[in-house]
Amino acid sequence: MNLGDILHVENVVPDLKALTRWEAIDELVSNLVATGQIKTEHRDAVTGAVRKRENSMSTGIGFGVGIPHASTDLIHEITGAFGRSKAGVQFDALDNEPVHLVMLLLVPQGQFQKHLHTLAGIAKLLHNRNVRTALQQAAKAEEILGIIREPDKI
C-alpha cells in the first residue's frame, strides 16, 4: 500500500501550526477525528499510542521528514494524515534539523507486515529530494496530494 492510497485531500494539512513533534501529532490526530477517520472518543487513546511509539525513538528520519506512527486496535484500515510546516517543527530528528513534512500513519493492530511495507514506501517517497522540494513548494492540499500520488510527474 502506498501513501497515495492512504491519504485523502481532507487529510492533507498544508500549513501545520505545530512547533513541536507533540503538537504536530496532536494536530494531525485532530484532523483524523475531524474528518471521521478516528472516532472522537478514541482521540486520546490513539494519540497515546503514537506518543508511546515516539517516546521510544523519534521518527524524525532526517531530511526534514517525520513519520510518527503506531498500531492500534481502534481503527480497521490503514489511515493517516500529512502535514507540512513552512517554519519547521522541532522533532528531535536524527539529523537535529527541523521537520517540514510530517506523515502520521496508523495501522490496525496485528498488521505488522503491512505496517513495515507502508512505512518503507513512505520513507522511500520522502527520501527523494525532488519530491520533498515539490511538496514544500506546493500551493495547496490538492497539489500536495497530486505529488504524493504521482511523484514521477514532477
Catalytic machinery residues: 69
Place of cell 511509539: 53
Strand partners, 83: 13, 102
The per-residue b/e assignment along 79-88, b for 16 or more CB within 10 angstroms, e otherwise, is bbbbbbbeee
Q: Is the dihedral of CA 98, 75, 70, 43 positive or negative?
A: positive
Distance CA 81, CA 94 (A): 22
Distance CA 29, CA 21 (A): 12
Distance CA 60, CA 10 (A): 24
